[in-house]
Amino acid sequence: MKANRWFIDSETGDLADVLLCPPEYYQWIPSNDIAIQTMAQGGAVDRAALNIQFAELVSTLREADVSCHFLKPQEGMPYQVYTRDSSQTTPFGTVVTRLSRPERVGEETEIRSFYGADEIWKTCTKGNIEGGDIHIIRPGLLAVGVSGGRTDEAGAAEFISWFEEAGWTCRMIRFPEHFLHLDVIFTMVAENLAIAAVDCIADEDLDWFRAQGIRLLPVSYKEAMRDMGCNVLALGRERVVSPHHSTRINQMLRAEGLTVLDPELNQFSRGGGSVHCMTMPLRRKSLQSV
């Protein structure tokens, strides 16, 4: 059997390769509550700042020894920059997800072109499921967010079934559609350590995370929604990329002994996404080999 080029079995293993998309056609559109509020307050994209911030993110990743790969931006796809959603790397191969919003459905063509048929393991065919809701926490443990919007129960159940067949422990985490994706209110920052908007997640789900040995650092609703404060990217080896404007959260992460790399990303967060949304890890060192 041909070995897959891309592989991850956790959210926190040492990151080697990542998929991004330049923001050539990026726009804020009223497709999520964060962008709607930004636009209602008279906000407008500063394209010069946008391009500088994307370049700073790429530079930050490369300086951390991460190889950056890029989709070709397509006209008319304003949120293609959020590469987290349109595919999902797994220990078994790449999964093509099933995007919910009509302006994003066309992203699948470029995703298939990037990976090629040999690398694609599964294609989601039921309901909707987006990568921002998929958290491959560690080998054998998977959480999938279900809001009924970007990811619904049918889409989550199909994805989870493939992991359950491999013997993984899996759980659906349900939350209001207002929050878009699970990575707006929960993200791993290091092995067995996460940041979470604890007041926005059901108590039984918080208890489940803790029962898996995951310690939760609290983030407020305002930090999660205004700043996209939970939307960070673990690089492995106690390093994390977090937006510069998330000052309290970054202080909290540093107090835990983590190295925080903090590029400016407010042009993206004000549209409803940040560094976790903008990055699909393609290859991480397996936690089973640590």
Main-chain dihedrals φ then ψ at residue 189, nearest 5 degrees: -115, -25
* Number of structural domains in the chain: 1
- Cα-based distances in Å from 212 to 143, 190, 234, 256, 257: 11, 14, 19, 20, 22
CA–CA dist 106, 289 (Å, integer): 37
Residue 6, domain member (yes or no): no
pLDDT number for residue 27: 80
Rounded to the nearest 5 percent, the helix, strand and coil shares of the chain are 30, 25, 45
CATH number for the domain harbouring residue 79? 3.75.10.10
Distance of CA 108 to the CA centre of its chain: 17
Residue 5, domain member (yes or no): no
The pLDDT confidence band at residue 226, using thresholds 50, 70 and 90, is: confident
Model's pTM, two decimal places? 0.94
Please state, for a pLDDT cut of 90, what percent of the chain lies above it. Answer: 86
pLDDT number for residue 55: 98
13 versus 30: which is more confidently predicted? 13
Residue 231, domain member (yes or no): yes
Which of 52-56, 141-145, 239-243, 270-274 bottoms out in mean pLDDT, i.e. has the lowest? 270-274
Residue 289, domain member (yes or no): no
Residue 7, domain member (yes or no): no
Q: DSSP strand E in 10-133: where? A: 15-20, 67-70, 87-90, 93-96, 120-123
Residue 49, domain member (yes or no): yes
Residue 102, domain member (yes or no): yes
Which structural domain, as residue segments, surrounds residue 133?
A: 15-284
Round to the nearest angstrom and report the end-to-end CA distance of the chain. Answer: 25
Encode burial over 77-91: b for 16+ CB neighbours within 10 A, e otherwise: bbbbbbbbbbbbbbb
